[in-house]
Amino acid sequence: MSEAPTQVAPGVHRLGNALVNCYLIEDGNRMTLVDGGLPGFRPQLVSYLQSRGASLADIDAVILTHAHSDHTGMAELVRTDAPATVRVHEADEQMARTGKTHARDGRMLPYLRHPAVYRLFFVAGRLGAARTPNITELTTFTEGDLDVPGRPRIVPTPGHSPGHVAFHLPDRGVLIGGDALCTYNPLTGKRGPQLMPKAFAFDIGQAQASLDALERIDAGLLLLGHGEPWTDGPAEAVARAREFGVT
Ligand SMILES: [Zn+2]
């Protein structure tokens, strides 16, 4: 992906870079930021909003698929500057508040032979991943529809993190899957629908089981935290991920 944000569905915009995505949902003249990307995405967000005749003040809410630092980057800054509320599943609340991550299901060592690892660390480092501000005020959720612009439906998909969720926009045919799946593996560099690697996962078995929830959703466009949008439906993405196996 080029660094330029793009509209990927009516009123749904993809921001970020080739390694990390976040999304903006427009609903009338109000907006929801889905995931906070990396702190260094902020100038891109501000200039993209400007190019569309909008500003940070039009963002009402930041909703998080989970609280890993490459998904919370801009959240605290948008919370204070828009201002906006930040919402996360209750099982990821402490991680969002403290920046302390959960135990992981795999070690990093086996991945260090892949050049993609170094690219990820370099890019994430340059964009401030290690300096992600903790989120000091949060609203938590568990299930149901979120009363924020776009009215996303929560799809609990734990495993990658304890409180991981996807967000479904049924009226737009869009499913934002976070890191329940990816189409670019940031540690191995492999492309195509697959689970995120074990070394980032809280419980890879639980992440595999959560694919059942995504498989059932009817959506023409699947948007993920890492990699290109997927247009062949969640069921096909899940089938390919199962075939791919765990990395
Ligand atoms: Zn993650």
pLDDT digits (tens, 9 = 90+) for 187-239: 999 999 999 999 999 999 999 999 999 999 999 999 999 999 999 999 999 99
Distance (Å) from CA 188 to ligand 1 centroid: 15
Candidates 199, 168, 204; CA nearest to 185 is 199
What dihedral do alpha carbons 100, 105, 110, 114 form, nearest 10°? -70
Distance (Å) from CA 160 to ligand 1 centroid: 6
The per-residue pLDDT for 3 is 62
d(CA 16, CA 201): 22
The per-residue pLDDT for 47 is 96
The per-residue pLDDT for 107 is 87
Q: Which residue stretches of the chain are H helix?
A: 42-51, 69-72, 75-81, 93-98, 115-126, 204-215, 234-244
SS (H, E, C) 25-37: EEECCEEEEECCC
Distance (Å) from CA 70 to ligand 1 centroid: 7
Distance (Å) from CA 65 to ligand 1 centroid: 8
Distance (Å) from CA 225 to ligand 1 centroid: 8
Distance (Å) from CA 21 to ligand 1 centroid: 11
Distance (Å) from CA 238 to ligand 1 centroid: 18
Distance (Å) from CA 202 to ligand 1 centroid: 10
Peptide bond just before 83 cis, omega within 30 deg: yes
The mean pLDDT of 46-58, rounded to a whole number, is 97
Neighbouring-strand partners of residue 34: 23, 63
Distance (Å) from CA 191 to ligand 1 centroid: 17
Contact criterion met (CB below 8 Å) for 43 and 205: no
Tens of pLDDT, residues 6-22: 999 999 999 999 999 99
pLDDT at 45 exceeding the cut of 90: yes
Distance (Å) from CA 53 to ligand 1 centroid: 31
Contact criterion met (CB below 8 Å) for 202 and 210: no
What's the mean per-residue pLDDT of the chain? 96
Distance (Å) from CA 196 to ligand 1 centroid: 8
Distance (Å) from CA 109 to ligand 1 centroid: 18
Distance (Å) from CA 149 to ligand 1 centroid: 24
The mean pLDDT of 161-175, rounded to a whole number, is 98
Distance (Å) from CA 182 to ligand 1 centroid: 10
pLDDT at 122 exceeding the cut of 60: yes
pLDDT band at 106 (very low <50, low <70, confident <90, very high): confident
pTM above 0.95, yes or no: yes
pLDDT band at 117 (very low <50, low <70, confident <90, very high): very high
Bridging pattern class, strands 30-34 and 59-63: parallel
